[in-house]
Amino acid sequence: MSAADRSELIAIRRMPYGTARIAASEAVTRCIEADGPRELLAEALLDLVEAYSFADEGAKSFVTFARTLRLWDESPELFDAGDERNLFWEFKWVAADLPEFPQISAGQAEAFLADMERRFELAGHGLSSVRMSRFRWAWHAGQADAEAQRLAWVTGLRDEYEDCRACTIGQQVDFFVDTERYTEAVELGRMQDDRCNLEPARTHYGLALAALLAGNPDLALRSHKRALAGDDGDTTDFPAARGQGFEMLARGGRLSQALRVLRTDYPDALRAGGSPATHLRLLLGVLAGLSANLDRAADLTGFTEPEWGTVGALHAWVQDRARALVAPLDARNGSDMYARHLARALAATRTEHELPAEAAGSAAAKLSAPSDLTPGPDHATETEAGSETETETEADRAGTGAALMAAAEQLAAYRAYAGASQAYVNAAQQWEAEGWIARAGAAYAEAAQCAVLDHEDAAAHTHFAAAVARIELDTSEAELLVAVLTAWAPIAARMSDTAGLLTAVRRALAREPEPNTDELAEDLAERRRAEWQLRQAHLRDTLARSLAASSPNEHADAVAEALSAGAAYAQLGRTGDAAHAFWLAGRVQREFGAGADAVWALESAFEGFTLARNRADRALAAGELIEVLRSTGQHDRAAEIVAEL
């Protein structure tokens, strides 16, 4: 093999975690084992352990890590300084998975930890990560000495293999919440001032639940919003933390929001997890939140699955699934820890001090519809519009829409999104009173965006609807209308209320016919047609995404619109946008059982992201394509895609 082989390993490490990275890492490891060079084998094996560990494949990492240890014992010369550091660093990842799988016996776990300590001592490395690993095992196995192990870890000497300060805080906050030491969790969680790939989001989830149960709902809500802002949506890192988030919202009086986050952000989390214990910890949080709301058992959850249709039905389903996971874990651990956690979740109630109510937008915004409004002076010239004159004073401007907009923009610049959202609403109402209807619409759109950043979906949904109702009245604002509809789409989907958006998108598609360019110069005519085609493509893409989110009955139309948008983007040379549209089509086809049909769309997405040099999305689309090809028996084609990575 040539020097390019190390470059290949580096390229794989740049890929996002998931199926494609695992497949590529497996392939290059097999190649090195078969053909060399042998000096790259340690690096390849360690990369494969990482790929498994961060893609919910912890069970596979045990075997690969054992192979790596054998190689270390037999041929230590194959490990350079970087390989040795990675080997001992990855010990923690594998040790962290020991309590997660009930098929790993307590004896095997203890033997692994003893061997870990022996190897660290032989290599002359510090033992801080060993102490941390022993604490995690004692904690998640329900052993009586978990607190003693924690103290031994945090009071011992730190070394280069220790976790970062942020993780040291985050793990302990989790432990305190798990053991109902809520005051300590709050005190320590409020000290979090560092960050890494997990933090501070993990700490903020735990802090939010602890603060609510300690009687501080305002801190709970602030912390939860900070957790959401730091959660990148990765499936691996935060299952237990997201369970805490669901419990906090539901027990704090925001059940609808809790269900909405679970339903839209992590739709597959209820059915499977990276390990039995990780999955159970998520389910216990969901179960506690549902148990606290059984007085609303008949309420609809918004899930399309019949067994999850109501709060009561979902509670029964989660309880059954959790019980099935508790028994083997407690049996392996020789304790009743998870049984006690299950009983605690079933006994959960809403807290005495509830969270502040979810913002829902202003009454004025809710009630306004296009028929209520008439266009104002938005088409006037700058002078006719009463633009600011040199003699106008600050006092004259204080109550104007322009002044209120400036105040709102200042709040937004400081990221005070709750205050900025309300300030933009105030500006919108003032613009409307002055007759500037389209400007009012733009202000409502800004209010909506701030509400999105403040994680107040209901308010954002209301403000987007108000914005569209006003912007639609001004036919010169086609670009703005498309932008607002596009921004509204994910929020409407989260709210499971896409009817108004769908109507507005279809109306926008129909209201703007292809421009008549007969009397324009050729270059200007071409530009006008391209601008119109791009707006149409954006609208069809938005329509496709909204149809995909609205109902299973709409999936065929969603695919058709996505393919249409993809073709339009491709014609315009917008390869990246085309790839995203084709990716959507393939995902919808795959979700509804049309795996063979999904291949073309996913291949188109893969090729488009390749041309657009979008490495991250290329790898993710490739992962889905590989899974579809393998599931439909096209293993040779799947291998070709892996080779292209």
Q: Report pLDDT digits (tens) over 430-478.
A: 999 999 999 999 999 999 999 999 999 999 999 999 999 999 998 888 9
Mean pLDDT calculated for residue range 255-271: 91
Global pTM value: 0.88
Same CATH topology for 359-380+399-511 and 513-645: the answer is yes
- Quick one: average pLDDT of 102-112? 96
Cα end-to-end span (Å), the chain: 17
- 158-201 residue pLDDT tens: 999 988 999 999 999 999 999 999 999 999 999 999 888 889 99
Which CATH entry fits the domain spanning 359-380+399-511: 1.20.1250, 1.25.40, 2.40.128, 3.40.50?
Answer: 1.25.40
- Candidates 363, 278, 270, 362; CA nearest to 317 is 270
| Per-residue model confidence (pLDDT) at position 399 | 67
Output 529 or 250, whichever has higher pLDDT: 250
Alpha-carbon distance 16 to 617, whole Å? 8
Distance CA 156, CA 148 (A): 12
**Chain mean pLDDT for the chain:** 90
pLDDT greater than 50 at residue 395: no
The second-level CATH assignment, the architecture, of 513-645 is Alpha Horseshoe (1.25)
Band (pLDDT 50/70/90 cuts) for residue 361 is low
pLDDT at 389: 41
The model's pLDDT over 490-518, given as tens digits with 9 standing for 90+, comes to 999 999 999 999 999 999 999 888 877 77
Is the model's pLDDT at 243 over the cut of 80?
Answer: yes
Q: How many CB atoms lie within 10 A of CB 168?
A: 18
Q: What is the pLDDT of residues 312-345, one digit of tens each?
A: 999 999 999 999 999 999 999 999 999 999 999 9
Sorting pLDDT into bands at 50, 70 and 90, what band is 599?
very high
Domain ranges in the chain are 233-358, 359-380+399-511, 513-645
Distance CA 638, CA 628 (A): 9
d(CA 299, CA 302): 9
Please tell me what DSSP assigns to residue 104.
S
pLDDT band at residue 144 using 50, 70 and 90 as cut-offs? very high
SS3 90: helix
Round to whole Å and give the CA distance between 509 and 565: 12
Neighbouring residues of 299: CB distance < 8 A, sequence distance ≥ 6: 255, 293, 310, 311
